[in-house]
Amino acid sequence: MTGFPWAAFAEGLGWAVLAAFGVMAATFAVALAKGVHRVVDVAWGVAFTAVAAASYAASAGHGDDGRRLLVTLATAGWGLRLAVHIARRGRGHGEDPRYDRMLAKAPGSRAGYALRTVYLVQGALVWVVSLPVQAAQYAPERLGGWAAAGGALWAAGLAFEAVGDHQLARFKADPANRGRIMDRGLWAWTRHPNYFGDCLVWWGLYAMACASPQAAAVAAPGPLLMTALLVFGSGKRLLERQMADRPGYAAYAARTSGFLPRPPQVLLARLRRPLRGPLK
């Protein structure tokens, strides 16, 4: 098998659109029935999984079977873990304050405004961000170094994100920590271990497509957009704006990296401390 199957890939893009917007349409119906739009956050990971599954089915007979299975399972593993985590975190809570503030500005129907500004936008973002997953499915090259590098990045990112989420959940579950800033574990290395892990996952998925120059070219907007969202969009920037007035957050931000992990200042101080006593 040689060459990138452009016609099949173009057809697959259409199936990915249907998968992404199909999940968002179903989620919109659930949100209207429940009266809360926070369920769309759960649908984020589910939609990526649906796109990966649709692309896997559509690419049969075109791309390398090993790579097709690898990127599908990797995407589903990340997306479903994230969906379950967000669902558990939001259980028993009402509407997310972010959506309350957003929908309060609705010029007409809140439902119509939510459909246009939340569900359709997120469906489009899922489709673009998932380009590495879609393109990799059609790459004819066999698994090799790029896939290994991508798998390592993906695994590191998933571990960083999952451990960070777990540490934060345990911290919040302790009543003694009410009103305090989480600055332990991975949260002492970066203010956003979950977002950093997310970023690594998507660059890992992109690397899996890079064995094919054509796939790498069409997939590049995906990780770039995800990184921009995490750092400058609805991730780090928005969360820090909301946290800015919390007692202790300014001091935490001053001593902790904003995104890329960095050893905590306490650890660095210990490493720089001169040895005492004679050497033996």
Nearest CA among 118, 137, 114 for reference residue 219: 137
Q: What is the pLDDT of residues 97-141, one digit of tens each?
A: 888 888 888 888 889 999 999 999 999 999 999 999 999 999 999
The answer to the question of residue 279 being in a domain is no
Q: Is the dihedral of CA 228, 51, 46, 117 positive or negative?
A: positive
Q: What is the mean pLDDT of the chain?
A: 92
pLDDT of 266 strictly over 70: no
In angstroms, rounded to a whole number, what is the distance separating the alpha carbons of residues 193 and 89?
17
Domain, as residue range, for 76? 6-265
The answer to the question of residue 275 being in a domain is no
The answer to the question of residue 278 being in a domain is no
The answer to the question of residue 274 being in a domain is no
Measured over all CA atoms, what is the biggest interatomic distance in the chain, rounded to whole angstroms? 78
CA angle 95–29–25, rounded 5-degree value: 110
Domain count of the fold of the chain: 1
pTM of the predicted protein model:
0.92
The answer to the question of residue 33 being in a domain is yes
The answer to the question of residue 273 being in a domain is no
